[in-house]
Amino acid sequence: MFKFQDVTINKHILLAISGGIAAYKSAELVRLLRKQGAQVRVVMTHAAMQFVSPLTFQALSGNPVHSELLDADEEHAMGHISLARWADALIIAPATANTLAKCSYGLADDLLSTLYLAATCPVYVAPAMNQAMWHKTVTQENIQKLKSHGVTVIGPEQGDQACGETGFGRMSEPEEICRYLMFEPTTQCLSGLKVLISAGPTREPLDPVRYITNRSSGKMGYALANAALKAGAKVTLVSGPVALTAPINVDVVNVETAAQMHTAVMSKAEDHDIYIGAAAVADYSPVMMEMQKIKKQTEQSTLTLQKTKDILAEVAQMTKRPFTVGFAAETHDLEQYAQNKLVGKNLDMIAANWVGRDIGGFDSEQNALHVFWKQGQKTLAMTNKNQLAEQLIRLISERMEHRTT
């Protein structure tokens, strides 16, 4: 049982904390989980207790913290079995390299590793360690082994580390881990639905060798295609020219110009339940394409452009229209412009992002979105585009469900 926004849930989360500095973030994780209505019980290794006091977790979870394998106070001294039975999900956060290695080999020499073996519920790990330890072959082998055993690995993220180095190894943020646990990104929330996504830039030719384009890499659109596929949807991707490979099982239509994208999307939209316009479609294209290379003759030259057809607005106007989600890329007044597009184009939802900044937006690995719909809004914090896409897909499915009910 989990909740969409305002339905109370009662999910039992067993949080196992191993000994790393990221243990302090787990305190916030407990708070967030409880805020979402989950019951939380905490298990700590002895090393973890060197970083944060069990009292902190006892106060936040409202339950005693467990650390001993043989706990005389537990029924039949079989604490690990009763805790494992109680849990709807087990999350090890932070999961150190040592803990990951023990779990992957099935060692059970303390409460945490024994619980991992005893657990029959879904297991999640949020690794946290120095970047060199994370990249070490044996750690990567252990991670692969855990994945093949059905464990969901959350993160780690890239960035500054407590040891002073920079790289992959930071534990994912508590909000992100909470989302995984409470909203199950692998849930088949779009099962049976057909999703049409546009991605990448368009190219508007000036002559046989030149064109007008933009900085879109297609990463956001392709990540959405992947997330929709994972959510159980049948996915069609209309893609401008990008250097990416589409996920297997996605039906790809490659286009180059805004006009071609318009034709491709309009021919498919009616047959889909959801349309997500993540492409950066040219707003203007040259009135005519010269058939020969334009020669350098005058000191100044003027291009005459004409407006392209607004694909998103046309989809939203269809009589039998899909749930229509637009993107807004803005360098200023993000909220105002996004709201105008939501209403002006009659969209079901719009995902607005800042562009032209140091991080996020065009051709970045990361992004953040401010999502608006007619009755509400939600901020999806800066994270990599794959995770962001999963969050947006869940939000779309929630809003569709809300609309139907």
- In the list 154, 324, 326, 392, the residue contacting ligand PMT (rule: CB under 6 A) is 326
> Residue 335 in 3-state DSSP?
helix
The answer to whether 120 touches 84, Cβ cutoff 8 Å, is yes
Q: How far is the CB of 278 from ligand PMT (least distance, A)?
A: 5
Q: Would you give the DSSP letter of residue 66?
A: B
Query: One symbol per residue from 271 to 290: x for binding ligand PMT (CB under 6 A), - otherwise; what is it?
Result: ------xxxxx-x-------
The torsion angle over the Cα atoms of residues 271, 275, 279 and 280, rounded to 10 degrees, is 120
Verify binding: residue 310, ligand PMT, rule CB under 6 A.
yes
**Residue count of the chain:** 405
By CB under 6 A, the residues from 343 to 372 that bind ligand PMT are 353, 355, 361-363
Q: How far is the CB of 227 from ligand PMT (least distance, A)?
A: 13
User: What's at 69, amino acid-wise?
Assistant: L
Nearer to ligand PMT, 219 or 268 (CB): 219
The CA distances from residue 9 to 22, 33, 34, 88, 401, in Å, are: 27, 10, 10, 12, 17
Verify binding: residue 396, ligand PMT, rule CB under 6 A.
no
User: What's at 199, amino acid-wise?
Assistant: A
Residue 325 and residue 274: Cα distance in Å, rounded?
8
- For 362, the token pair is 């065009």
Q: How far is the CB of 288 from ligand PMT (least distance, A)?
A: 18
Residue 368 and residue 382: Cα distance in Å, rounded?
4
Query: One symbol per residue from 207 to 246: x for binding ligand PMT (CB under 6 A), - otherwise; what is it?
Result: ---------xxxxxx-------------------------
Verify binding: residue 258, ligand PMT, rule CB under 6 A.
yes
Nearer to ligand PMT, 230 or 262 (CB): 262
Residue 319 and residue 274: Cα distance in Å, rounded?
14
| Residue 169 CB burial class (10 angstroms; 0-12, 13-18, ≥19) | buried
Active site (annotated) includes residue 103: no
Q: CA neighbours within 13 Å on the CB side: how many for 244?
A: 26
Nearer to ligand PMT, 125 or 350 (CB): 350
Q: How far is the CB of 355 from ligand PMT (least distance, A)?
A: 6
Stretch of 47-55, 155-163, 230-238, 326-334 lying at the interface with ligand PMT (CB under 6 A):
326-334
Nearer to ligand PMT, 9 or 244 (CB): 244
- In the list 327, 354, 372, 373, the residue contacting ligand PMT (rule: CB under 6 A) is 327
Q: How far is the CB of 246 from ligand PMT (least distance, A)?
A: 14
> Residue 290 in 3-state DSSP?
coil
Q: Work out the end-to-end distance of the chain between its first and last CA atoms, rounded to an integer number of angstroms.
A: 18
Q: Residues 121, 163, 178, 189: which is the catalytic one?
A: 163
Q: Which of 352, 362, 356 is nearest to 326 (CA)?
A: 352
Nearer to ligand PMT, 230 or 385 (CB): 385
Residues touching ligand PMT: how many (CB under 6 A)?
A: 29
Nearer to ligand PMT, 249 or 306 (CB): 306
Q: How far is the CB of 347 from ligand PMT (least distance, A)?
A: 9
The answer to whether 116 touches 42, Cβ cutoff 8 Å, is no
Q: How far is the CB of 60 from ligand PMT (least distance, A)?
A: 36
Cβ neighbours of residue 207 closer than 8 Å, sequence gap 6 or more: 289, 290, 291, 292, 293, 294
Active site residue ranges: 163
Binding-site ranges for ligand PMT (CB under 6 A): 198, 200, 216-221, 258, 277-281, 283, 308, 310-312, 326-329, 341, 353, 355, 361-363
